[in-house]
Chains A and B, each alone.
Chain A
Amino acid sequence: MSENIISLNHVSFTYSESKVPAVQDVSFNVKKGEWFTILGHNGSGKSTITRLINGLLWSDENDADSIIVDGDPLNEQNLWKIRDKVGIVFQNPDNQFVGATVADDVAFGLENRGVPREQMLSIVDKAIQEVGMSDYKTAEPSNLSGGQKQRVAIAGILAVKPKILILDEATSMLDPRGHDEIISLVKKMKDKNDLTVISITHDINEIMLADHVLILNDGKAIAQGTPKDVFKNEKLIDSIGLEEPFIFKLIKKLIKAGIEIPENVDSQEKLVEILCQLNSKM
C-alpha cells in the first residue's frame, strides 16, 4: 500500500501524578487511507495515544522522530500544522460541543483558523449537510440526541478538512442505533474525503471494519496485525480479558462441529457465502 501517515517509534508517556507509565515503548505505523483500530480494556492507554498524536500530551522522550504525522515530526513548530491535519471526535458528546447552536459549533474550528466569514457560511452549510443535520442547523445542543451531537462533532472536523480522523471511543456513550449511524457515516466520509481513520474502541464488532488492529495491555502494545491474525492467538486475547468478535467465535464453533471453513474467511459476507455454498452441496 502507500506510505505511512503516522508513525510512533518507541513512545512512552507517564502522567505526572502516577509512577507507572500509561504508555510504554509503543511503536506502530498507520498507512495512508487505512482504518486503524486500537483495542484494549479500560486504562490500557488507548486514549493517551490519541492525545500524544496531536500534541495534547507530550511523550516522555520528546525526541525529534518519536512521533511523525504526515511527514512532519511532532514538535513545537509543527504543532498547529499537525493539529490542522488531525481531527478528534471525543467520547462524551456533551463535553465537546463548544457552540451554542449546531452551525456555531461546526464553525468553531474554522473561526480558530481565521477563515473569512463569507467562506465559512458555505463550508459550514456543506459540512452540516454531509452529516445529515441540515434540519437542525440552528438547534441547541440540549435538544439533540447523543448520536446527533457526535454527527455535529464530525461535521466540525470535516469542515477543516483534516487528513486523519481519530475516533476516541466516539460511540461508547451512544445507543446501538446511534453507534451504527456514526460508524456508517464515518465509513462514508472516509471513502469520500480520502481520510485515514484511527478508531479507539471497546466494541469488539467494530474492529471488523479495521484494516489493522493494535492491542494494548497496561500501556504496552502486545499484538498487532489484521483482525484475523490478532484473534488467532486465543490465549493472548483471553489473558487480557478481551472477547473475540462474534464472527470468529462462530467460525471456530463451526470448525469444531466439523464444518470446513476456508482460512481466508474473515467477514460476515464471506461466511454467509461459504455457508450457502455448503448448503447447496449437501
Chain B
Amino acid sequence: MSKIIIGRYIPGDSIIYKMDPRGKLLVAILFIFIIFLANNWLTYGIIALFAILAVAATKLKAKIFWDGVKPLIWLIFFTSVLQLFFTTGGTIYWKWWIFTLSSFGIANAIFICIRFTLIILISTVMTVTTMPLEIADAMEWILKPLKLIRVPVDKIALVMSIALRFVPTLFDQTLKIMNAQRSRGADFNDGGLIKRSKAIAPLLVPLFISSLETAVDLSTAMEARGYRGSKGRSHYRVLRWSKVDLVNLFYLVSLTALLIIFRTH
C-alpha cells in the first residue's frame, strides 16, 4: 500500500514547499481547466514545458513522479487506444469494421496521453510538496464562501483535520489486526475473489468497532477540553501569503496567456 504516491507528503526544501497551500491547491485545480485550452502541437508543447518546469522546481527525484503516473498507466493507455481507433477524419490509413486509424486519431491519442500525464504530474507536485494538514486548511479557505449558504465550513474543516490525523493511526491499527489474524491462520493474499473478500471480514469488523470506540473516546476528550461547537473558537494555525506565491500566480497567468495566444480557432 505504501506504493501509492497520491496523497503522500515527501518532505523537501524547494521553492514550491514555501508556497501557500491555498495558492498551490487553486493552481492545481485551475491547471486541469486550462489544459483544455490546448488544442494544437504548440500549445501542448507549452503546457508540457510548464508542467516539467513545475516538476523540476520541486527538486525531488524523477522516480517519485513516475510512481505517481504508474498506477494510472493502464487508464491512460486504454483511453489513448480508444481515441486511436475510434476517431475519424483527416487521412485514413487503415479501416476494418468499426475501427479506423486516421491522422486525427493518432494526434488525439497523443494529446490525451499528454493531457492525462500532465494532470497527474501537477497533482503529484501539489500533494507531494504539501502536508495533508495544509491541504485541509487550504480546502477550508476555498470552501469559506459556502458559509453564505449555511454550509458548516468550520465543522467540515475540523472533520477533515481529524480524519487526516487518524489516517496513520487507522493504518497502523489495520496492520496490527491483519497480523493478529494472520497469527491465527487468516490468509489475506491467497485464493480467488470470493475467498479473498471473505478473508476481509475478520479485518473489517474489528476495524469498524475500534474506529467507533475511538470516536467515542475522542469526542469525550474533546468535550472535556471545552469544545462546544465552532462558535467562538479561535485558530492557532493560520496561512499567510508570501512573496513566493507571486511566482505561483505568475506561472498560472503566463501559462494561460500563452495558451490563449497560440491556440487555433
**B237/A96 in contact, CB under 8 A:** no
Of A109, A117, A120, the contact of B225 (CB 8 Å cutoff): A109
* B162 is an interface residue with CB less than 8 A from chain A: yes
* B62 is an interface residue with CB less than 8 A from chain A: no
* A233 is an interface residue with CB less than 8 A from chain B: no
* C-alpha gap A99/B237 in the complex (Å): 11
Give the shortest distance, in Å, between B261 (CB) and chain A (any CB): 43
**A94/B236 in contact, CB under 8 A:** no
* B133 is an interface residue with CB less than 8 A from chain A: yes
Interfacial chain A residues near B228, Cβ < 8 Å:
80, 112
* A54 is an interface residue with CB less than 8 A from chain B: yes
**B226/A98 in contact, CB under 8 A:** no
Interfacial chain B residues near A56, Cβ < 8 Å:
220, 223-224
**A92/B232 in contact, CB under 8 A:** no
* B141 is an interface residue with CB less than 8 A from chain A: no
* A114 is an interface residue with CB less than 8 A from chain B: yes
**A100/B220 in contact, CB under 8 A:** no
* C-alpha gap A72/B225 in the complex (Å): 19
**A114/B233 in contact, CB under 8 A:** yes
Interfacial chain B residues near A198, Cβ < 8 Å:
none
Interfacial chain B residues near A156, Cβ < 8 Å:
225
Main secondary structure of the interface of A (DSSP, over half): helix
**B236/A112 in contact, CB under 8 A:** no
* C-alpha gap A88/B232 in the complex (Å): 22
* A83 is an interface residue with CB less than 8 A from chain B: yes
Interfacial chain B residues near A160, Cβ < 8 Å:
225-226
**B214/A95 in contact, CB under 8 A:** yes
* A40 is an interface residue with CB less than 8 A from chain B: no
Interfacial chain A residues near B214, Cβ < 8 Å:
94-95
* B67 is an interface residue with CB less than 8 A from chain A: no
CB-based nearest A residue for B215: A95
* B234 is an interface residue with CB less than 8 A from chain A: yes
Interface size class of chain B, counting residues whose CB lies under 8 Å from the partner chain:
20 to 34
| Chain A 82-112 interface mask (CB, 8 Å, partner B; 1/0) | 0110111010101111111101100111111
* B2 is an interface residue with CB less than 8 A from chain A: no
* A141 is an interface residue with CB less than 8 A from chain B: yes
- Report the stretch among B165-173, B177-185, B199-207 that lies at the interface: B165-173
**A114/B234 in contact, CB under 8 A:** yes
CB-based nearest A residue for B131: A100
* C-alpha gap A94/B77 in the complex (Å): 44
Question: A56-B223, A117-B234 in contact; A94/B169 too (CB < 8 A)?
Answer: yes
**A142/B168 in contact, CB under 8 A:** yes
* B13 is an interface residue with CB less than 8 A from chain A: no
Interfacial chain A residues near B217, Cβ < 8 Å:
90, 92, 95-96
* C-alpha gap A63/B235 in the complex (Å): 37
Give the shortest distance, in Å, between B133 (CB) and chain A (any CB): 5
* C-alpha gap A275/B90 in the complex (Å): 104
Question: A104-B237, A117-B235, A117-B238 in contact; A142/B221 too (CB < 8 A)?
Answer: no
Interfacial chain B residues near A117, Cβ < 8 Å:
234-236, 238
**A83/B226 in contact, CB under 8 A:** yes
B:206-265 near A, CB below 8 Å: 213-214, 217-218, 220-228, 232-238
* C-alpha gap A121/B236 in the complex (Å): 8
* C-alpha gap A187/B161 in the complex (Å): 33
Nearest 3 Cβ contacts at the A-B interface: A95-B217, A107-B236, A96-B221
* Contacts from A to B (Cβ < 8 Å): 51, 54, 56, 80, 83-84, 86-88, 90, 92, 94-101, 103-104, 107-117, 120-121, 124, 140-142, 156-157, 160
Could you list 11 further interchain pairs (A-B, Cβ under 8 angstroms) beyond the known A56-B220, A83-B223, A98-B222?
Answer: A87-B224, A87-B225, A95-B217, A95-B221, A96-B217, A97-B165, A98-B165, A100-B132, A120-B236, A142-B172, A160-B226
